[in-house]
Structure 1
Amino acid sequence: MAYRTESYTGGFADPVFEAQSTFKILMDCMARPGTIATVSAPSAPPLPLGPGAGAIALTLCDHDTPVYLSPALMGAGVQGWLAFQTGSLLTEDRAEAAFAFFEKGAALPALSTFSMGSQEYPDRSTTIIAELPDLTGGAALTLSGPGIDGEATIAPQGLPPHFENMWRENAALYPRGVDLVLVSGSDILCLPRTTKIAKRGA
């Protein structure tokens, strides 16, 4: 694979410490769905992949994790950056991906097109990292489920129309199903498959 110049830059300055820091933030957000946290480890991936999504890629991706990239990310050379920085291999088949990345403004495909895992190995499903314009200021959604004290409210901007229906179908597959990480800049919000979502007031 031929690497572009930007493939060699933009990684973690202290890979072990910064990956551990980012992983802890991710796990905390997965354990407390709807909580917005900031990834502090600096990364500068090729645009349009943002710094938060880049830090997540540097933390989670390696040679054992097939990665799916949106067409725009592929066209921007993100695949070369990921390959050089993490050793991860790209797949064009969403059903084979351990992780899938979508830039801000990209259309999120049907969740059923990704790996749902199996009853025996539900952890083999895809984790989707989707960048949005903002994690606040959008239509309010109510969250409930494990890790949430009663109910929580989120209002991200840029989710697909009828997202709550998409998510309901995903949650019905439990313990199978995808997990979702929403990212805006360096801010993240996690929605594990155990989380129930409804429109505010519905």
Structure 2
Amino acid sequence: MASQSQVYAGAFADPVFAAQSVFRCLMDGFARPGTIKHIETTSAPPAPLGVAAGAVALTLCDHDTPIWLTSALGKSAVPQWIAFHTGASATVSKTDARFAFIEKGAAFPGFDQFSLGTQEYPDRSTTLVIEVEALTGGQVLTAKGPGIKGETEIAVKGLPDVFLGFWTANRAIFPRGVDLVLTAGDRLVCLPRTTRLSLKEA
């Protein structure tokens, strides 16, 4: 059972200013895919939810945004913490979720298990917030697409071997598909579905 201190504490000290700051960070991150962004105003969510993921939840979730949580997150104080501070409730249905949160080290569900939007309303898809080991030091991928001048490289550490296959399949159904926010500590990288990823050529 979650303690009251776990549920009630750890939100933004200045909710309006902090949410605006994090929102700008996210918008800039989606406008410049692959760029590592630093969240200057952080939260202290219950474990195992990470700092940046908690800030994203406080900023984007509300009573109209069902969220999906992994089993470990669902069994922690996280559902009550998010519900208390944002009004958002957890759903067991991946396709009903507007946001999905996956903690570091958890198994990745297939992206196609979540809402992919429709041709008419592609924005009705799930955004996945996934914590990884680090945003540097991993396998180097080349990223191309809108918001990227020419190409850029990302080297996220802690992505599973199936990630690139999942992402390639996701990119193939554009304009449908999920968007990703990869987090590590107080930093994040945004990957909209428009971004094309490939292994860096040797």
Report the equivalent of 1:31. 31
Amino acid aligned to 2:74: M
Q: CA deviation at 1:5?
A: 2.9
Map of 2:13 onto structure 1: 13
The 3 A distance-change label for structure 1 pair 83 and 3 is farther
Distance change >3 Å, CA 34–CA 188, structure 1 → 2: same
- Any stretches of 5+ residues in structure 2 without a counterpart? none
Distance in 2 (alpha carbons) for counterparts of 1:30 and 1:39: 14
Q: 1:3 deviation in Å?
A: 6.8
Matched with 2:47 is: 47
CA offset digits 1:36-55 (Å, max 9, x no partner): 01111120000111111100
What code does the residue aligned with 1:15 have?
P
Name the residue aligned to 2:103.
103
- 1:181 is paired with a residue of what secondary structure? strand
1:124-165 per-residue CA deviation (whole Å, 9 max, x = no partner) reads 100000000100000000000000001100000111213211
Which ranges of 4 or more aligned residues in structure 1 deviate by more than 6 Å?
A: none
**TM-score normalized with structure 2 length:** 0.97
3-state SS, counterpart of residue 130 of structure 2: strand
Deviations 1:94-134 (A, max 9, x none): 11100000110011100000000111111010000000010
Q: CA RMSD in A?
A: 1.4
Query: TM-score, normalised on structure 1?
Result: 0.97
Partners in 2 of 1:42 and 1:111 — Cα distance? 28
Task: Give the secondary structure class of the aligned counterpart of 2:73.
Answer: helix
Hey, what does 1:168 align to over in structure 2?
168
Q: How many residues align?
A: 202
2:139 paired with 1:146: no
Contiguous gaps of at least 5 residues in structure 1:
none
* SS in structure 2 at match of 1:58: helix
Contact 1:3–1:80 under 8 Å retained in 2? no
Give the structure 2 partner of residue 79 of structure 1.
79
Q: How far apart, CA to CA, are the structure 2 residues paired with 1:73 and 1:99?
A: 14
Q: Distance in 1 between matches of 2:96 and 2:164?
A: 24
Q: Distance in 1 between matches of 2:146 and 2:66?
A: 28
CA shift digits 1:22-76 (9 cap, x unpaired): 0000000000000001111120000111111100000000000000011111111
Question: Following the alignment from structure 1 to structure 2, what is the Cα–Cα distance between the partners of residues 28 and 108?
Answer: 26
